[in-house]
Amino acid sequence: MKNYLKLLILVLCISCENDKKASTNIVEVNQTTMGNHIERLASDEFLGRKPFTEGEVKTVNYLKDEFEKLGLLPGNGDSFFQDVPMVEITGTPSENMVISGKNGSFNFESLKDFVATTNKAEANISLENSELVFAGYGIVAPEYGWNDYEGINWKGKTAVVLINDPGFKSGDSTLFKGNEMTYYGRWTYKYEEAARQGADGLIIIHDTEPASYGWNVVESGWSGARLIIESDLPLLNVESWISSESAKKMFDASAMKDQDYKTIARNKRFKPILLDLNVSVDIKNKIKKDVSKNVVALIPGTESKDEYIIYSAHWDHFGIGKAIEGDSIYNGAVDNASGTAGLLVIAEAFKKSNDTKRSIVFMAVTGEEQGLLGSAYYAEYPIFIPKKTVANINIDALDSPGKMKDLTITGYGQSEMDEYAKEAAEKQNRYIIPDPEAEKGYFFRSDHFNFAKIGIPALYASGAYEGFDKSIEDIKKYNDNYRMYKYHQPSDEYNSETTDLSGIQLDLQLFFNVGLKLANEDYFPKWYDSSEFKAARK
């Protein structure tokens, strides 16, 4: 009897231990370690982490060493690095862009009326009397039955298109996504699509409201040196913008004189229209090549080794630049030492948790600040088969003054990753909200976007709206203060005394929990039918 009782107690204890394990089987993402990594990466020693500088060497070696210490494996064969060859192109366009037609010709003036660049690494590039064709919004979107390029051989021609997509300010929320910008609205898409169509050049008509920035941004952003990746994708000879005044002049001289080209472009049955005009412009380029690095580390799965969850964060920032208040080192503590440190502590948490069925990849990418270059290179030359890549969780610029109730999802409504985020948020007594500024297209402005482009569902989110013990107004003040006084400035520094890491810890914990769930199931999250990335998954 006594023995029986002992045995019973023992059995009960084992089962209660198991219960305990099951309910507390949550590995904590370590806040102290995270603080230490942020402090180190954002210290002056790392020189602002700019690609091709000593700051890059220090940063990528630090990450490799830390991943190694944690017992992770090299993610790229036997290397922790993926080389990312880049080209710096400093282009100088001719003073004038010449538009000619039956009734003579006229000039647009460089910077005042037009900008022109090229991604072709050649000393001289030009458009010579290239035929101008109005191509509406320059969109081919099978899911909307939309094709602005149909019925024309584009070889030797230059397309003229509007910025944004037909939904913007249409008053029709079913036309594309209404005011919310789809990828088809971004200038990057428009250049890519025109190149796929085989066109010679593309001219985007600037318009402040649908672009969400003024001509001054085009003027400064499309002149001077630019970094691009070496790519095998088709390229245009010339990528250009013209001001809305120039566009008016162009249409007045064209076969579309007196026609309302904006309304015409919004029609679903739109077909390209020959303008009866030609364009000439040339660009002289200075070219410099260099190689930067993505850092890639791996925890192999126990069962489905060839299925991957990829965590990404960009390691790069602006290095040493123009001094502000005597400080010239752009430390980038929030942007993005926070996310880079996040990779390390999430990796640590995965090592502490039980083994996962699927493999987990940690990828610190380069060149985000120059145009998402490291992730773009990865998307073109992926190490892990995209179809077998379950999801991407991207971490960029985590910053909050404490624990947040919300999880704001940038790109809400794209994929079932929303559901994973919602479930994980509710376990933290939080709620999810869509990005309130979706019309600004932030979904296309960080590295997860390049994963989305090759069909990998991506989560990009953070607490940004309402605190557990801070009001919506206080949080707004905090965020506005960052945008005004720290964002992309030397003052984005880390202070271990004053920084409250609890909110960042909570976000990282959520990302870990989402990844952990995905890593132990067989399901592949799907894109929603309305997503412009769904087609890429097939």
Token pair 């999250």 is found at 525
Residue range at the interface with Zn ion (CB under 5 A); choices 71-79, 237-245, 330-338, 423-431: 330-338
DSSP for 201-219? EEEEEP-HHHHTS-HHHHH
DSSP for 350-375? HHHSPP-SEEEEEEEES-STTTSHHH
Give me the least distance between CB of 373 and Zn ion, in Å please. Answer: 13
Give which of 460, 414, 406, 459 is closest to 433, Cα–Cα.
406
**Cβ proximity to Zn ion, 180 vs 368, nearer residue:** 368
Residue 507 near Zn ion by CB under 5 A: no
Give me the least distance between CB of 49 and Zn ion, in Å please. Answer: 11
Helix spans in 208-337 (H): 208-211, 215-221, 244-252, 261-265
Give me the least distance between CB of 413 and Zn ion, in Å please. Answer: 25
Question: Whole-angstrom Cα distance, residue 335 to residue 512?
Answer: 20
Measured from the Cβ of residue 280, the count of other Cβ atoms closer than 10 Å reads 18
Give me the least distance between CB of 109 and Zn ion, in Å please. Answer: 32
Interstrand relation of 201-205 and 157-162 (parallel, antiparallel or unpaired)? parallel
**Cβ proximity to Zn ion, 369 vs 447, nearer residue:** 369
**Cβ proximity to Zn ion, 307 vs 335, nearer residue:** 335
Give me the least distance between CB of 369 and Zn ion, in Å please. Answer: 5
Give me the least distance between CB of 492 and Zn ion, in Å please. Answer: 9
Question: Whole-angstrom Cα distance, residue 130 to residue 412?
Answer: 41
Contact, 82 vs 296, CB < 8 A? yes
Per-residue x/- track, 279-318, Zn ion (CB under 5 A): ----------------------------------------
Residue 335 near Zn ion by CB under 5 A: yes
**Cβ proximity to Zn ion, 309 vs 363, nearer residue:** 363
Give me the least distance between CB of 277 and Zn ion, in Å please. Answer: 39
152-173: buried (b, 16+ CB within 10 Å) or exposed (e) per residue? bebeebbbbbbbbbbbbeeeee
Interface residues for Zn ion in 368-397 (CB under 5 A)? 369
Q: What is the separation of C-alpha 395 from the centre of its chain, rounded to a whole number of angstroms? A: 10
Residue 210 dihedral angles phi and psi, to the nearest 5°? -65, -25
Number of residues lying near Zn ion (CB under 5 A): 2
Give me the least distance between CB of 47 and Zn ion, in Å please. Answer: 16
**Cβ proximity to Zn ion, 182 vs 446, nearer residue:** 446
Long-range contacts of 23-27 (CB under 8 A, 24+ apart): 25/353, 25/354, 26/513, 27/349, 27/350, 27/352, 27/353, 27/512
Asked if the peptide bond before residue 336 counts as cis, ω within 30 degrees of 0, the response is yes
Q: Angle 104-109-112 (CA atoms, 0-180°, nearest 5)?
A: 140
**Cβ proximity to Zn ion, 131 vs 399, nearer residue:** 399
**Cβ proximity to Zn ion, 200 vs 369, nearer residue:** 369
Contact, 189 vs 532, CB < 8 A? no
Question: Whole-angstrom Cα distance, residue 233 to residue 231?
Answer: 5
Give me the least distance between CB of 446 and Zn ion, in Å please. Answer: 9
Q: Which residue is nearest to Zn ion (CB)?
A: 335
Give me the least distance between CB of 395 and Zn ion, in Å please. Answer: 13
**Cβ proximity to Zn ion, 203 vs 313, nearer residue:** 313
Contact, 421 vs 407, CB < 8 A? yes
Residue range at the interface with Zn ion (CB under 5 A); choices 30-38, 139-147, 347-355, 367-375: 367-375
Residue range at the interface with Zn ion (CB under 5 A); choices 302-310, 362-370, 495-503, 516-524: 362-370
Residue range at the interface with Zn ion (CB under 5 A); choices 185-193, 206-214, 251-259, 334-342: 334-342
Contact, 163 vs 207, CB < 8 A? yes
**Cβ proximity to Zn ion, 148 vs 369, nearer residue:** 369
Give me the least distance between CB of 334 and Zn ion, in Å please. Answer: 9
Q: Which residues contact 437 (CB under 8 A, 6 or more apart)?
A: none
Residue range at the interface with Zn ion (CB under 5 A); choices 110-118, 203-211, 364-372, 412-420: 364-372
**Cβ proximity to Zn ion, 71 vs 224, nearer residue:** 224
Q: Is the dihedral of CA 116, 293, 232, 195 positive or negative?
A: negative
Give me the least distance between CB of 336 and Zn ion, in Å please. Answer: 7
**Cβ proximity to Zn ion, 333 vs 516, nearer residue:** 333
Residue range at the interface with Zn ion (CB under 5 A); choices 17-25, 162-170, 227-235, 329-337: 329-337
Residue 439 near Zn ion by CB under 5 A: no
**Cβ proximity to Zn ion, 335 vs 406, nearer residue:** 335
Residues that bind Zn ion (CB under 5 A): 335, 369
